[in-house]
């Protein structure tokens, strides 16, 4: 797998000490960090774990993990090849292997092997192919077709390798990865055969919710075997599956377009718009359907895949017959089956073979996962179903064990795997970190504040560095009859008062107010507003406030094209008799957009960040990808970093790159820009003599464990190159922050949790019982929960030249979760990472709306060469950030 960084970055000394147990050891008490020792010959992808944190108040928590006893016998690994077939769906592969084991060769597959649905099969005994015969080919009949399947033995997995890894005596190499994979395939085999599944989750119809638009939610269960310190654990969680509604396909389609029961609404001849047809087609493409002609024994046993929808109804859609001549689809069913369609004007479904089938004859089998983005208007319904209070979620997980039935699974038993269900969810030790102190500006009655459970308020406080609104205009995109001049004055007064309450200077309390038509040229309207401001005040506005109607997304996007001036959009519905709290929240965003700073960490609370002798730049980086199947759309990247000495004022850079490429291609360019801006700001604005950073903390969002090595080998060198070109040599720490996991923590004693939400308090950190056996990682729940069960962030330290102790890095990360400008609550990940995510999601605003790029979440498949051309177009038309916005937090 190539050389990997070991130890602590560029030769930073590991903190040592005598181990207390075996090769991997820890001391649970004592001052400073508790020592942990990994065998010196072990190599790691990231930084090797050398200690645990010890600071903070201790508490016990439940976690959604159960202890696992790993097998003692050797596991036999086989590679599966289907030479005569292209890649088949995982569900079909599972059915083929089941047929092979039960019907074709039951004598060979006793006891039965487990299969991952792709290429890997694992057996509890060596399959009896014959003496010295490592490979065998089988012919498997299935649904009137024959499939050739070849099995080849590739390895034997000795569980001792896994045991040594858990004790810190074995590197995380391919043997360990394969062993963990095998155990996961074992536990998933039983539910995979019984229920609809999606990678690591499966779903049952025991708890469902119909949310309309042809979508039904199913309760599901996630399960994954994970290595921890000294033992294997199984992570169990509830999940949510979005399923297509079973039954008549015609009814499903009518629900989706919002016309239930109105069958002719899907008839092009009756005015069904083509754009709606395409939207519907994107929603149902890939769904499996059966067909049935009433009065005929024609129901297809094997579901067929819907490819697309016809452009015309069955009575208008003609095709050429084999014997010559043409016929409409409706005529074909009349002549062939003596069946007159009830709705001949309605669309047809085209299946993979090219056959055209009227929608009224198509049926959707139950249990089909919708692998598309949930429509935005349904997001709340999904969240309502998925959200559970901590105590309810933990109980659902306990109840899920009766569905998982590990003790009853023949596969789990025959491999010698034992899940300790009777002991229940693990109880582990956690710590609650001390909350950082925040500093506000002059004139505050309380200049410093210590948040309580991640929350505080702006009562009697002034911003640390309040901005000035020199000149501003208000543009209303609501009808004047609805949003009257009186409403506008009330909004201006409330807005102005809120800004002044927090120390901002508003020089004009009576700005120009204009009403405009949102269907017009937004850019021209904003320019006209700016000209009117020039005529009135002698200068251009430094702020445009836009009042938008409901559903004003297109107007919002067009306004954000006006990149040379700060803009603040407000919903008209929120402005009617708005509470002052609403405008106070708006002022949080507005102040930083105009160059101000809301609050900073008090220097004693964040000494690493505010050390004047070691100026530090903190960066957050992210990549966002298009929806699955959208081959014509690119991925967007972002890099955010502070320019000030207090790590409170951030700037951003964004770029467009190859679709679904996880590594940031332009990181070198963006990092050099960020570092250059940091140096200039400290030199020219703060007047610092030592302007260059001596330390870089690089938080990377959105990469899976499989990508860690790529971050080190591809992104880290780009960051280092940017430093070399600026002739600076800062020490670098690289940390991956992950939120896409299923690890949860629950207060064992309700008195230790948040009184309102029942979650663990903000600042809860866990770095022991569920941590990685050899690498420096930890979980930090930095925010106070509001709804549902809070998800902690998972921090993996990949590279560290700054020689962080666990306590130091945990406290630093927690402090950075408190400087998110848009809120008076700590957030779930450090502010620069949060900002990077926002910048990525708003990258579409760098395009002219008139170009009509499709940024919807619907999939659009196109050929590779066309995709390359489309990417080139996206890159060429990506507008760079306006120079006036380059030093401002325009993304707030």
Backbone angles phi, psi at 355, to 5 degrees: -65, 145
pLDDT at 19: 31
Which residues sit opposite 8 in a β-bridge?
Answer: 12
Residue 338 CA neighbour count, 13 Å, CB half: 3
Contact indicator for 252, 364 with CB cutoff of 8 Å: yes
DSSP secondary structure string for all residues of 267-306: -GGGT--HHHHHHHHHHHTT-EEEE--TTSS---SS-EEE
- The whole-angstrom separation of Cα 561 and Cα 848 is 7
Which residues sit opposite 678 in a β-bridge?
Answer: none
pLDDT at 143: 84
- The whole-angstrom separation of Cα 155 and Cα 142 is 29
Of the candidates 195, 237, 185, the residue with the CA atom closest to the CA atom of residue 401:
237
Contact indicator for 450, 489 with CB cutoff of 8 Å: no
Contact indicator for 504, 591 with CB cutoff of 8 Å: yes
Take residue 726 and report the two structure tokens written for it. 């600026």
Q: Set out the domains of the chain in order of their start, with CATH numbers.
A: 75-200+390-419 (no CATH), 247-365 (2.170.260.10), 466-594 (3.40.50.2300)
CA 198 to the chain's CA centroid: 16
- The whole-angstrom separation of Cα 123 and Cα 278 is 46
Q: E strands of 729-851, at which residues?
A: 731-738, 745-747, 764-766, 777-781, 793-800
Interacting residues of 717 by C-beta distance below 8 A, sequence separation 6+: none
Residue 881 CA neighbour count, 13 Å, CB half: 22
Residue 856 CA neighbour count, 13 Å, CB half: 13
Take residue 232 and report the two structure tokens written for it. 């294997």
- The whole-angstrom separation of Cα 764 and Cα 762 is 6
Interacting residues of 145 by C-beta distance below 8 A, sequence separation 6+: none
DSSP secondary structure string for all residues of 670-698: HHHHHHHHHHHHHHHTS--SS-S-SEEEE
Take residue 88 and report the two structure tokens written for it. 């088949």
- The whole-angstrom separation of Cα 630 and Cα 615 is 43
- The whole-angstrom separation of Cα 289 and Cα 283 is 14
Q: Phi/psi zone of residue 795: left (φ > 0), alpha (ψ -120 to 50 degrees), beta?
A: beta
Q: What is the largest CA-CA distance in the chain?
A: 95
pLDDT at 530: 94
Take residue 703 and report the two structure tokens written for it. 């990469």
Pairing type for strands 543-548 and 472-476 reads: parallel
CA separation, residue 485 to residues 477, 512, 536, 537 (Å): 13, 11, 19, 21
Take residue 639 and report the two structure tokens written for it. 């890099």
pLDDT at 323: 81
Interacting residues of 205 by C-beta distance below 8 A, sequence separation 6+: 218, 366, 367
- The whole-angstrom separation of Cα 68 and Cα 658 is 41
- The whole-angstrom separation of Cα 429 and Cα 768 is 8
Dihedral over alpha carbons 602, 606, 608, 609 (to 10 degrees): -60
Take residue 156 and report the two structure tokens written for it. 């034997």
Dihedral over alpha carbons 818, 822, 828, 833 (to 10 degrees): -90
Which residues sit opposite 650 in a β-bridge?
Answer: 642
User: Which helix H or strand E contains 841, and what residues bound it?
Assistant: helix 831-841
pLDDT at 564: 85
pLDDT at 863: 44
For residue 100, give the DSSP letter. Answer: I
- The whole-angstrom separation of Cα 780 and Cα 767 is 9
- The whole-angstrom separation of Cα 673 and Cα 567 is 24
Burial of 353 (0-12, 13-18, 19+ CB in 10 A): exposed
Q: Given the structure tokens 């790993």, which residue do they identify?
A: 70
Average pLDDT across each block of 10 residues of the chain; the chain has 892 residues. List them in order: 38 33 35 77 93 96 96 95 73 94 96 95 95 92 90 95 95 94 96 90 95 96 96 96 96 96 94 95 94 71 89 92 87 91 96 91 95 89 95 95 92 95 94 97 94 93 97 96 96 96 96 95 93 93 95 89 86 92 96 97 92 95 82 89 96 93 94 97 95 98 91 97 98 96 96 93 96 97 92 98 96 97 96 96 83 55 53 85 89 90
- The whole-angstrom separation of Cα 226 and Cα 248 is 42
pLDDT in tens, 286-345: 999 999 888 766 555 678 999 999 999 999 999 888 888 889 999 999 998 889 999 999
- State the alpha helices, DSSP H only, in 249-292: 249-256, 274-284
Contact indicator for 540, 501 with CB cutoff of 8 Å: no
Residues 48-87, buried b or exposed e (16+ Cβ, 10 A)?
bbbbbbbbbeebebbbbbbbbebbeeebbbbebebeeeee
Contact indicator for 274, 311 with CB cutoff of 8 Å: yes
Residue 592 CA neighbour count, 13 Å, CB half: 24
Dihedral over alpha carbons 814, 816, 821, 822 (to 10 degrees): -40
- The whole-angstrom separation of Cα 607 and Cα 10 is 23
Of the candidates 226, 229, 70, 78, the residue with the CA atom closest to the CA atom of residue 158:
70
Which residues sit opposite 234 in a β-bridge?
Answer: 66, 225
Which residues sit opposite 48 in a β-bridge?
Answer: 775
pLDDT at 20: 32
- The whole-angstrom separation of Cα 690 and Cα 682 is 8
- The whole-angstrom separation of Cα 663 and Cα 706 is 12
Contact indicator for 15, 50 with CB cutoff of 8 Å: yes
Take residue 107 and report the two structure tokens written for it. 């004598």
User: Which helix H or strand E contains 175, and what residues bound it?
Assistant: helix 174-194
Helices and strands of the chain, counted as H and E runs: 21, 41
Backbone angles phi, psi at 43, to 5 degrees: -100, 150
The pTM score is 0.91
Count of residues in the chain: 892
CA separation, residue 846 to residues 530, 620, 677 (Å): 21, 20, 21
pLDDT in tens, 75-101: 999 999 875 556 788 889 999 999 999
Q: Given the structure tokens 């399960």, which residue do they identify?
A: 223
Contact indicator for 364, 302 with CB cutoff of 8 Å: no
């Amino acid at each position: 797998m190539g050389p990997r960084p070991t130890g602590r970055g560029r030769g930073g000394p590991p903190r040592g000490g005598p181990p207390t147990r075996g090769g991997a050891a820890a001391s649970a008490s004592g001052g400073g960090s508790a020592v942990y020792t990994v065998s010196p010959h072990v190599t790691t992808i990231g930084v090797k774990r050398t200690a645990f944190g010890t600071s903070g108040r201790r508490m016990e928590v439940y976690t959604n993990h159960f202890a696992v006893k790993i097998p003692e016998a050797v596991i036999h690994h086989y590679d599966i090849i289907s030479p005569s077939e292209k890649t088949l769906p995982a569900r079909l592969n599972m059915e083929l292997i089941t047929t092979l084991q039960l019907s074709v060769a039951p004598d060979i597959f006793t006891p039965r092997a487990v299969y991952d649905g792709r290429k890997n099969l694992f057996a509890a005994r060596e399959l009896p192919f014959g003496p010295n015969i490592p490979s065998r080919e089988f012919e498997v009949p299935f649904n009137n077709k024959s499939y050739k399947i070849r099995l080849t033995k590739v390895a034997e997995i000795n569980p001792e390798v896994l045991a040594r890894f858990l004790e810190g005596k074995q590197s995380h190499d391919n043997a360990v990865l394969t062993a963990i994979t095998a155990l996961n395939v074992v536990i998933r085999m039983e539910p995979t055969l019984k229920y609809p599944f999606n990678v690591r989750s499966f779903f049952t119809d025991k708890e469902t919710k119909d949310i309309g638009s042809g979508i039904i939610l199913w309760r599901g269960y996630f399960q994954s075997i994970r290595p921890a310190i000294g033992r294997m654990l199984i992570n169990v969680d509830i999940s949510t599956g979005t399923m297509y509604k079973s039954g008549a396909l015609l009814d499903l389609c009518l629900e989706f377009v919002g016309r239930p029961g109105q069958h002719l609404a899907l008839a092009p001849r009756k005015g069904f718009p083509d754009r709606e047809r395409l939207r519907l087609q994107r929603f149902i493409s890939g769904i499996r359907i059966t067909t049935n002609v009433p009065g005929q024994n024609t129901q297809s046993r094997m579901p067929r895949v819907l490819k697309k929808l016809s452009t015309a109804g069955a009575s208008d859609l003609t095709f050429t017959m084999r014997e010559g001549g043409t016929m409409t689809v409706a005529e074909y069913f009349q002549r062939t089956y003596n069946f007159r369609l009830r709705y001949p004007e309605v669309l047809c479904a085209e299946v993979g073979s090219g056959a055209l089938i009227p929608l009224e004859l198509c049926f959707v089998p139950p249990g089909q996962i919708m692998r598309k983005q949930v429509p935005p208007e349904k997001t709340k319904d999904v969240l309502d179903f998925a959200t559970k209070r901590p105590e309810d979620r933990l109980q659902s997980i306990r109840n899920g064990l009766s569905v998982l039935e590990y003790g009853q699974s023949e596969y789990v038993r025959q491999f010698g795997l034992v899940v300790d269900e009777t002991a229940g969810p693990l109880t582990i030790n956690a710590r609650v970190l001390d909350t950082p102190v925040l500093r506000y500006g002059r004139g505050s009655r309380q200049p410093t504040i210590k948040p309580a459970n991640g929350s505080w308020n702006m009562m009697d406080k002034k911003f640390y560095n309040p901005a000035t609104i020199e000149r501003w205009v208000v543009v209303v995109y609501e009808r004047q009859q609805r949003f009257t001049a009186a409403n506008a004055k009330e909004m201006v007064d409330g807005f102005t008062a809120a800004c002044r309450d927090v120390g901002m200077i508003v020089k004009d309390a009576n700005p120009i107010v204009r009403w405009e038509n949102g269907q017009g040229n937004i850019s021209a309207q904003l320019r006209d507003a700016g000209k009117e401001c020039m005529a009135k005040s002698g200068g251009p506005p430094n702020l445009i406030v836009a009042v938008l109607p409901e559903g004003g997304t297109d107007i919002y996007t067009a306004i954000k094209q006006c990149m040379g001036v700060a803009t603040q959009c407000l919903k008209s519905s929120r402005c009617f008799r708005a509470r002052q709290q609403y405008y106070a929240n708006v002022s949080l965003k507005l102040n930083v957009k105009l160059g101000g700073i809301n609050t900073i960490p008090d220097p004693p609370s964040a000494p690493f960040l505010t050390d004047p002798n070691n100026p530090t730049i903190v960066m957050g980086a992210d990549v966002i990808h298009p929806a699955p199947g959208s081959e014509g759309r690119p991925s967007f990247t972002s890099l955010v970093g502070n320019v000030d000495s207090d790590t409170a004022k951030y700037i951003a850079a964004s770029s467009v790159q190859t679709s679904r490429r996880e590594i940031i291609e332009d990181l070198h360019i963006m990092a050099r820009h960020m570092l250059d801006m940091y140096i200039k700001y400290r030199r020219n604005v703060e007047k610092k003599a030592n302007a260059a950073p001596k330390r870089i903390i690089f938080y990377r969002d959105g990469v899976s464990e499989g990508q860690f090595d790529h971050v080190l080998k591809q992104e880290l060198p780009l960051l280092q190159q940017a430093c070399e070109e600026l002739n600076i040599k800062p020490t670098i720490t690289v940390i991956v922050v992950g939120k896409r996991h299923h690890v949860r923590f629950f207060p064992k004693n309700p008195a230790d949790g948040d009184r309102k939400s029942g979650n663990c308090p903000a600042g809860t950190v866990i770095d022991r019982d569920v941590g990685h056996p050899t690498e420096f990682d930890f979980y930090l729940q930095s925010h106070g929960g509001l709804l549902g069960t809070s998800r902690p962030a998972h921090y993996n330290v990949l590279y560290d030249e700054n020689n962080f102790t666990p306590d130091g890095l945990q406290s630093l990360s927690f402090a950075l979760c408190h400087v998110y400008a848009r809120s008076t609550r700590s957030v779930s990940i450090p502010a620069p990472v949060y900002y990077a995510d926002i910048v990525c999601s708003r990258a579409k605003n760098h395009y002219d709306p008139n170009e009509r790029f499709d940024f919807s979440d619907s999939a659009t498949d196109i050929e590779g060469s066309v995709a390359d051309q489309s990417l080139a177009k996206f890159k060429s038309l990506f507008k760079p950030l306006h120079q006036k916005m380059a030093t401002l937090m325009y993304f707030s």
